[in-house]
Structure formats: structure tokens, C-alpha cells
A = this chain, B = another copy of it.
């Protein structure tokens, strides 16, 4: 399920605060979900809790990490080192949460060998070799929309089977390849939509909708 990483993050946060055990209510609150949903999700992995007591934070943390498959670092490449690629390369959250950035790729020859976040930018020519040599299964696309599909095709051909796409483009991939899309302006537009509805409803009803 897509909520396991959220639970994992909440567990890490609890562990950092020195909390050794927690109930489903507490963990659900930390993760921002319903406690029933949380228990059902966790029961899908197995019975890792103790009735009357709760869950052992450290134990559950490891079990979820194992289920997700981030017990050891997974190699990742980032393609497109523009503003966003820069930020991603410097983002500490990747490296501390089960991922290892093995290469930064950019099509601009002038940028090759430039260092970002302690890693030198490589040209697109090296894409296939790096993916094969490092056994990279996950690629991050942070190129302009026009280049996204071509980059995607090359990544998939080289052996990448999961893609995180920041480019505002719909990627078509063969079966067996997963794509997740993060579109920043679409997120904002969704907020704008709710915003507009609030602006329309509130003056009439005279209050916020609980």
C-alpha cells in the first residue's frame, strides 16, 4: 500500500523522540490517518503488535522497511539537473531514507563535470552504462516536458523499471514499468480549486464548512 512509507516516517520520528512502544491510536495520529485503517494495513503485513500493549517502535520500523524494500540503499539516478534536479540532488531525505544517488545526468555538455551535492554531473551518453553497472532500477526525471519521454525510453531500455516523473508530461511505458508523477503546479491548482469553492460558499453560508 501507498501508506506504508508514511507509517515508516512516523515511526522514525517516534524513535527519534525516544519512544519505544506506541498504540495504533498514537501512530495513526502521527501519520495523520484513522487508527482502524492503520491496524488493517499493518495486519496485512502480519501480526507485529501485542494486544493490550501496542507496537514496538523499533521492531515495527524494521518490518515496514523490510516490506517496502529499503533495508539497504537502492541506487537511483537523476536525469535533468535544472533547478529542480539541483534541489533533488541536494535533498538529504533520499539518502537518509533508503536511497543512494549514483549519478546525475544532464543533456547540456557545458554542465558535465560540474559538481552538485558532492556528485559530478555526467552526460546522457553515460546513461546506459551507469544504469547497467550500478544495477539502477529507479530513475528520477526532472527534465523539461519535451525531453521527458525520450529520457524515459532510454531509462527503460537500459533496465530501469520504476520512474519518478517531475516533468509535466504523461509518460507511456511498457507493462511492468511503474511511473509515479509529481506535478507541482497541478498540486497548486487543486488547492486553487478548493480555494475558489471556499470563496463561493462562505459568504453565503456565513461560516467555514466543518
A residues neighboring B (CB under 8 Å): 2, 4-6, 8-10, 30-32, 67-70, 74, 76, 83-84, 86-88, 90-91, 93-94, 97-99, 137-138, 140, 161-164, 168, 170, 175-176, 178, 180, 182-199, 208-210
Contacts and interface: CB of A to CB of B under 8 A. Distances in A.
A114 B59 CA distance: 46
A162 B194 contact: yes
Contact of A83 (B91, B170, B186, B197): B91
Q: Please state the number of chain copies in the assembly.
A: 2
From DSSP, what is the main secondary structure of chain A's interface residues? helix
A2 B190 contact: yes
17 contacts: A5-B185, A5-B189, A30-B170, A91-B184, A94-B185, A94-B188, A98-B188, A99-B188, A138-B195, A162-B192, A175-B209, A175-B210, A176-B198, A178-B191, A180-B190, A182-B182, A182-B187
